[in-house]
Amino acid sequence: MSQTILGIRDLHFAHGDLGVVRGVDLDLAEGETLIVVGPSGCGKSTLLRLIAGLERPDRGSIQLGGASLNDTIVFTPPEQRAVGMVFQGLALFPHLTVADNVGFGLHRLKRSERTARVQEELRAVGLGDLGHRYPHQLSGGQQQRVAIARSLILRPRVLLMDEPFSDLDGETRGKVRNEVRRILQEHGTAAIIVSHDAEDARHLGGRMVRMEQGRLLPENDPIGMESARSQP
């Protein structure tokens, strides 16, 4: 059995306009894909933001690879967490080329080394020839792949994806889902994908959990899972 890479215990958060998280417990194994489904405002995105360190939890702990990211004493800032994230809306830097977007996190490497790594990553997502373009010159699916390449280039322990397919039309959505599945399998990266669409879970082939009103429902809860599957 694979080792647990991410462990969350009794995580609580309630602030401002963000969704509420109430006592979430979660384990994610190495290389595993977990799909969190649930209605808007149920706290799915907030959960990702807490794991990424973009919000400070009120209570609870998050451990990554056995090391504590936050508990009552420690709070590791996002830039030191080795967690990658693909944002809803992608958050590509509009003033940087595709290559500069993907290589943004490699600023400590030499230019030649950086260029080689970027090229390798772009080839892996099928965008080897498009490094010189700007994000607005790409299709929605291509932009999605840039965002994934940018997150994976630092070899994060966990990749978080917030509604990664929500802005795509039907045909592109199917293609990108397959791409994501292939890329995650090739990299062997553990991932948590948040979606309001249970179809995503079926196509990505990972474990699915449902979130409602800030709580993760037990995975053997037939009502919760059934209602998740029947989501439009």
* C-alpha span between 144 and 29 (Å, rounded): 25
- Is the CB of 78 or the CB of 174 nearer to other proteins? 78
Cβ 48 to other proteins, closest distance in Å? 11
Largest CA distance in the chain: 54
* Residues binding other proteins (CB under 8 A): 52, 54, 77-81, 83-85, 87-89, 91-95, 104-105, 107, 150-151, 154
* Angle, helix 140-152 to helix 170-187, in steps of 10 degrees: 20
* C-alpha span between 151 and 62 (Å, rounded): 20
- Is the CB of 23 or the CB of 89 nearer to other proteins? 89
Cβ 80 to other proteins, closest distance in Å? 8
- Is the CB of 159 or the CB of 225 nearer to other proteins? 159
Structure tokens at 78: 């996002």
- Is the CB of 87 or the CB of 165 nearer to other proteins? 87
- Is the CB of 155 or the CB of 230 nearer to other proteins? 155
Cβ 143 to other proteins, closest distance in Å? 13
Beta carbons of 189 and 2 less than 8 angstroms apart: no
Sign of CA dihedral 88, 197, 55, 188: negative
* C-alpha span between 214 and 19 (Å, rounded): 7
Cβ 220 to other proteins, closest distance in Å? 33
Q: Which helix (H) or strand (E) holds 207?
A: strand 207-212
Cβ 73 to other proteins, closest distance in Å? 22
